[in-house]
Structure 1
Amino acid sequence: MIKVTINRRNDQSIYSFLMSGHAESGPYGYDLVCAGASAVSFGAVNAVTALCEAELEIDLGDNGGFLQCILPEDESSPEAQILLEGMIVSLQTIAADYSEHISISDHGR
């Protein structure tokens, strides 16, 4: 199962997220849940980096199935927050249909 953890500050702004695990909803290379979650999360990271010119702390782990992104407080623009909130909505949409393969914990909400 893919586990997504969203961490928020007291003001509800997102300061980090972590995705770990494997969906195992299909054979390697054909796992649509994994592909969707990966596309959404990496797309959000790339969008924040490119459009907000933010310096994110990114850890991809050593063996795949891991993405940690930390948004330093001085990089927390309203635009970055909107992009990350959009990522959460997209991941929740995937989880609504595939809850046995992906779970989301939104700490601070």
Structure 2
Amino acid sequence: MIGITIDRNHSGEIQSFEISGHAFFADRGKDIVCAGASAVSVGAINAVHAITGVTPMIEQGDGFLRCVIPDHLSADIHEKIQILLEGMVVSLRTIEEEYGTHIKITFKKQEVE
């Protein structure tokens, strides 16, 4: 199963996300759940960089992706990044609705900074 964790700050804004695991929906190269989650998440990271010029901190490996948004961004840039990441969440939730036995999203909210 693909596990996705979306970390939000006390204001509900996305600070980071982590995706790990494999969907095992189909054979490697034919797994539409894995391909969908990968395309949506990597596309969101690419959009953040292309639209805002911000390069998030990325860690990745086999079946693993972590993205952390830098602190201390201008309000305008931060707002654009949040819109892009919320769009990613909508897309991932759409995948989860259809293929919930292969992908699970968890939301974590930081209570105290």
TM range (shorter): over 0.9
Q: Which has the larger displacement, 6-15 or 72-81?
A: 72-81
Cα distance in 2 for partners of 1:49, 1:10 equals 24
Give the corresponding residue for 2:38. 38
Cα distance in 2 for partners of 1:11, 1:89 equals 19
Unaligned runs of 5+ in 1: none
Give the corresponding residue for 1:106. 107
Tell me how many residue pairs correspond in the alignment: 107
Cα distance in 1 for partners of 2:107, 2:40 equals 16
Which residue identity does 1:95 align to in structure 2?
Answer: E
Unaligned runs of 5+ in 2: none
Cα distance in 2 for partners of 1:74, 1:94 equals 32
Percent identity reads 49
Moved over 4 A (4+): none
RMSD of the TM alignment (CA)? 1.3
Per the normalisation by structure 2, the TM-score is 0.91
Q: Deviations over 1:41-92 (max 9, x none)?
A: 000000001101112100012xx11000000122461000000000000000
Cα distance in 1 for partners of 2:18, 2:100 equals 17
Give the corresponding residue for 2:11. 11
